Structure 1
Amino acid sequence: MKFTAISAISLAVVLTGGAAVAQDREGWPDSFTVGTASQGGTYFAYGSGWANLVADELGISGGGEVTGGPMQNMALVHTGDAAFGMTTMGPAAESLAGTNPIAPGLEMTGACAIFPMYQTPFSVTALASSGIESVSDIPDGARIGFGPAGSTSDTYFPQMMDTLGVNYDRRNGGWSDLGGQLQDGLLDVIAFAAGVPVPAVSQLEVQTDVNIIEFTEEEQAQLLEAFPVSSFEIAADTYSTLEEPARSVSMWNFAIAGCDLPEDFIYEVVDIVMSDNERMVNIHRAATSTLPENWDKNTVLPWHPGAARWFEENAGADIADDMIGG
């Protein structure tokens, strides 16, 4: 059988899923990175997972990159040093306003929202042997690990502890490192803002007895009044240590992309992530909230045009024109 020009075109259509798809890939990147956070945290596990999923589905090289977390991710995506990143609404608002501590005065308008991820609960963990069972039990001058410098934890949790009247010695580091320091007695408390279950806390549970400390109703009310957070309960089945839900507060996370990336490329990325939640939950349990209907939790960032089109076509989203970037 002759392998004609027509046959070659037909084969190309089969391999790409259609001639339109092949044409749409003009201008697409050959590779990409997703700015996550430190190893041992939810951002790294979740971000690396969806990066690998997208890379496999689109046949493009891609993966997660260790970063300092939401603030740095906003900067990396704004400058084009990373195609994608992950951020929380608080750091996103600060970055747009030009108050990101990484680049004070720079309004990071080059980063656009592409899909909702999950809520980040603020949770406190101590060794059971410490006797710390509540926030009020934390002794004056306690050595508290707040996560990587510039992360959501490091940006907001010290302020929260100030609000709750806790006096502390502030420490920073990667999630895995801080978990190890707590176990070795080098820290008294770790205060994590991360999707649950936090891998470092789950690892601690396997190795030693820990207390996962909830906020009292009064403490929760204080934080809700003072910070851009929502009420949250850490489900009892999140950690083996918990016997009942733990009262907390949380902040929404969104995936971000460079606003100038091709619209069709971002549409396909969003479609892969949002069209099969089971695959995302298999990557990380926090993805139970990675659902189309949560598009409206973004009240801060401009949407990438490709993402806006996906949510308008598939989730009935009504996104105002002035909330679409690019």
Structure 2
Amino acid sequence: MTPTENKTKESEIAEIYHSGTDARHQPTSTNPLDRVLYGEDDRRDVHNLADVQVDAALLRKLIASTVILTDRSNLTKQTDGSYELRVESFERPDPTTGVALPACSGERFGHQYTGGWCSGFLVGPDVIVTAGHCNKSADSVTNTAYVFGFRAQTATDPGTTAFRDDQVYFGRELIAHDLSEDGDYAIVRLDRPVTAPDAEPMKVRVSGEAGIGSNIGVIGYPSGLPVKIAFGPDTIVIRRDDPWLLANLDTYGGNSGSAVLNRDGLVEGILVRGAQDYHTDSRNGCFRSNRELNSEGREVATKASAFVDKIPRG
């Protein structure tokens, strides 16, 4: 590749990021040419991980160390100290009429609940990382609940709604934040050390970077659905341009803040932006996922190098 070609590819990533089309949070599209799934749909629930080529014990820990972000007001404390999460049906507003549309027949996970609006992951005893556009301010942090264990345990389970006290945390401090050409990240201190079952701080890359063609995956909450693992055999880093990397991850709104991981469980970055999630099927009055070839990946992550030095040590 010539220097001119390389510059073009790098500027393309920045253009995707700064385009203002943050599909991680946009409404349903009416344009069937917009895309989000690349090749086969690699998303898996926790009960369906047999074909995920990551060590099973490691994968369990990574899943257990992932949080969904939701409004603090969506959690009601019960008399026994547990919490009930207010959830919603998996619907999307029609961008023209505003009417809530159901998932089309055949759209995966259409029966599941949605419970939040962003993802995050544990990096210290009481510290999580998410996207900068998920927690933009100190007030945003204190109004957010960070919940471990939102998952679908069986094929018919719509998702967890009851959580123990050790699964629910609230934001205390915005340690570091960026939402600029230098990165999109937020580092948040929780109200107490995490004691959620099996949760451990994830390891974040401190030097080097994932190579072009490296196999990567993501764990998070697409569209606010119960946690999904997307580690496809053809999911790879397509391009790099500090502080971004571009990949063909199967991610949606709600995946913002998800850990982008290599197969050894090392955090390579934070999912922050991507192509449009859905389009409206006007004939059937429902919505469908957009699709694209694996080679056309447009999902953007903030590289670990942009934020790893901001994570408190000790």
TM-score by length of 1: 0.30
> Which of the pair has more CA radius of gyration?
1
State the structure with bigger RCO (CA 8 A, min sep 6), 1 or 2. Answer: 2
Structure richer in strand, relative to its length: 2
TM-score by length of 2: 0.31
Structure richer in helix, relative to its length: 1
